[in-house]
């Protein structure tokens, strides 16, 4: 006899599962807060308590996947505690991966993100637009970028949604539910909130200044006009909600005294800063290439060389010209300190130094260096790596792949018929399509993949630990989904496609050869009909 499922029992199981998913979201939200703020023992404890509660719920309601993930998060946090609160890149990497896996447990079963490392699960975006159909189309487009959006058709529906759950952000038409009513509605729901929700307004292109001023006073952080598209909205929400993996500052400590280096490590690790220590200065250049620090701390006096001599050697390499160097020494002669700083240093801290002073100095210098480096190595339109830095990253990945015996794939992508987009719709629309593809790639590729804008409408992707078949699977899925994105335009909406070529590292191939092979595969894709991904095949 065939056994039939009990609908009421199924509904009950679904209800219990929702409890677990809601607690999983709590874990992810604590994790995001921890990323945005200073890492501390108290916040680690809050994350541990949320994970423990998730484990209990998962056990009670028989949700095995959530239970295993919660237990793994607790083990990671115990690892940090066992290490006296000191972080390691391995622990951070494992926590990031666990949070990404946890984020996927709340997705619809039909979503195909198996090959993608997603940012932590976000709350939905609320769309309160004058025309429900427009909101529904926009929600559908946002879904292609991996973001959930909830279209709302009335002020009452909006208020009810706000009572049930606060969103990641609100997009509000200034005339939602009546002329100017959206402004008052958005302002009212924010009142009394300790943490304001990112609020974006939209209205006609000819919206007057008083209305825009009212939007600012209501807490609006952006004002979109009629040509609003999903990629522009998502890009702004990403900035406002700071959605990113936790990426701690990295500091290389060079000190011949193991005791002093260990003390500095402990102080910085306890503040969520990753460190690597060298007691042999001659190893510094190799360690710089491997560790890629945001900042270097040097002892002034070491047996094999002085700190200022090592600083000069570091500065001889153009790649490390912008990395801040801080001297940490007992030297209190001001003239000698100034001499050392004139030879490549950025700051001089005298031992003994208060932990708070050291942490603040490192954070401020490292943050500034990251911003400066971003301007130097990233494309201004898309935020992707520029051509030169992309090739440098490819060379780094090639060296690691050859050393560790790992696979490596390199892909070149090109937007199809891009000249027609510029000619028919104008360069602003062309820029929008380029930014959209850049965002699409950032959303759907792994953090360990490197994405660059090679020039014009051409992109490059470095994919470590990935063979050509796996790379093809991922990029072909992105190609299909990107073709479904639409851009508002006249006389009809615009959609675009791209073609790609992939080459896999073989034997002792260098970067030049790998790049040529990917370019040849891209040529085949273009001449094979476009909107396709080709693999390079050696003769």
pLDDT of residue 244: 44
Is 250-377 in the same CATH topology as 125-241?
A: yes
Spans in the chain with pLDDT lower than 50: 1-5, 107-121, 243-244
What's the confidence (pLDDT) of residue 118?
35
Give which of 67, 39, 36 is closest to 54, Cα–Cα: 67
pLDDT value of position 181: 92
Q: Are 275 and 328 within 8 A, CB to CB?
A: no
CATH classification code of 125-241: 3.40.50.2300
- Give the pLDDT confidence score for residue 106 in this predicted structure: 52
Q: What is the pLDDT of residue 237?
A: 80
d(CA 360, CA 495): 48
Pairing of strands 199-202, 274-278: unpaired
194 alpha carbon, distance to own chain's centre = 26
3-state secondary structure of 129: coil
Contacts 24+ apart (CB under 8 A), 30-39: 31/95, 31/99, 31/120, 31/246, 32/120, 32/242, 32/243, 34/246, 35/242, 35/244, 35/245, 35/246, 36/242, 38/271, 38/272, 39/87, 39/248, 39/271, 39/272
CB 219 within 8 A of CB 199: yes
**What pLDDT, on a 0 to 100 scale, did the predictor assign at position 143?**
78
CA–CA dist 130, 351 (Å, integer): 63
Which CATH architecture fits 387-535?
Answer: 2-Layer Sandwich (3.30)
Domain chopping of the chain, boundaries: 7-104, 125-241, 250-377, 387-535
Prior bond of 25 cis (ω within 30°): no
129: CB partners within 8 A, 6+ apart = 135, 138, 151, 171, 173, 176, 202
Nearest to 444 by CA among 54, 9, 111: 111
- The span from the CA of 196 to the CA of 199, in Å, is 8
Residue 217's nearest CA partner among 207, 225, 209 is: 209
Contact 466, 407 (CB under 8 A): yes
CA of 42: how far to CAs of 47, 187, 216, 465, in Å?
9, 33, 35, 36
CATH of the domain spanning 250-377? 3.40.50.2300
């Amino acid at each position: 006899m065939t056994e039939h499922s009990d609908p009421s029992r199924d509904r009950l199981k679904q209800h219990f599962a929702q409890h677990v998913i809601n607690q999983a979201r709590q874990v992810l939200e604590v994790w995001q807060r921890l990323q945005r703020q200073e890492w501390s023992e108290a916040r680690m404890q809050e994350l541990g308590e949320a994970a423990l509660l998730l484990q209990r719920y998962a056990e009670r309601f028989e949700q095995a996947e959530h239970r295993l993930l919660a237990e793994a998060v607790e083990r990671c946090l115990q690892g940090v505690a066992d290490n006296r609160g000191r972080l390691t890149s391995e622990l951070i990497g494992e926590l990031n991966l666990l949070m990404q896996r946890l984020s996927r447990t709340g997705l619809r079963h039909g979503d195909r993100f198996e090959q993608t490392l997603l940012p932590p699960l976000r709350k939905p975006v609320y769309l309160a637009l004058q025309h429900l159909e427009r909101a529904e189309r926009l929600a559908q487009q946002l879904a292609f970028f991996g973001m959930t959006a909830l279209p709302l058709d009335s002020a009452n529906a909006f208020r009810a949604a706000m009572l049930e759950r606060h969103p990641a952000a609100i997009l509000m038409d200034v005339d939602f539910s009546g002329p100017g009513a959206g402004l008052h509605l958005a302002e009212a729901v924010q009142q009394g909130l300790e943490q304001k929700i990112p609020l974006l307004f939209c209205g006609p292109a000819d919206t007057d200044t008083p209305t825009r001023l009212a939007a600012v006073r209501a807490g609006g952080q952006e004002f979109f006009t009629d040509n609003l598209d999903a990629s522009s909205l998502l890009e702004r929400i990403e900035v406002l909600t700071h959605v990113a993996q936790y990426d701690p500052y990295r500091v290389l400590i060079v000190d011949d005294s193991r005791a002093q280096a260990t003390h500095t490590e402990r102080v910085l690790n306890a503040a969520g800063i990753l460190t690597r220590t060298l007691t042999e200065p001659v190893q510094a250049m190799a360690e710089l290439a491997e560790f890629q620090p945001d900042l270097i701390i040097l002892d002034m006096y070491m047996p094999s060389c002085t700190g200022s001599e090592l600083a000069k050697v570091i500065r001889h390499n153009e790649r490390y010209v912008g990395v801040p160097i801080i001297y940490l020494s007992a030297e209190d002669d001001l003239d000698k300190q100034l001499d050392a700083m004139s030879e490549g240093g950025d700051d001089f801290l005298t031992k003994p130094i208060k932990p708070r002073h050291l942490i603040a100095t490192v954070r401020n210098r490292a943050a500034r260096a990251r911003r400066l480096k971003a301007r130097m190595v990233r494309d201004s339109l898309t935020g992707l790596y520029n051509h030169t830095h992309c090739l440098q990253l490819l060379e780094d990945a090639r060296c690691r792949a050859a050393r560790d015996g790992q696979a490596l794939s390199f892909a070149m992508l090109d937007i199809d018929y891009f000249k027609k987009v510029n000619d028919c719709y104008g360069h602003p629309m062309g820029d929008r399509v380029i930014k959209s593809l850049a965002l699409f790639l950032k959303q759907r590729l792994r953090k360990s993949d490197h994405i660059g804008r090679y020039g014009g409408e051409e992109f490059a992707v470095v994919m470590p630990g990935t063979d050509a078949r796996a790379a093809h699977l991922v990029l072909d899925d992105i190609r299909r989904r990107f073709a479904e994105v639409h851009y508002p335009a006249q006389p009809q909406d615009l959609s675009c496609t791209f073609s790609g070529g992939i080459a896999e590292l073989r034997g002792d191939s260098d970067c030049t050869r790998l790049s040529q092979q990917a370019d040849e595969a891209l040529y085949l894709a273009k001449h094979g009909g476009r909107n396709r991904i080709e693999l390079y095949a050696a003769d």
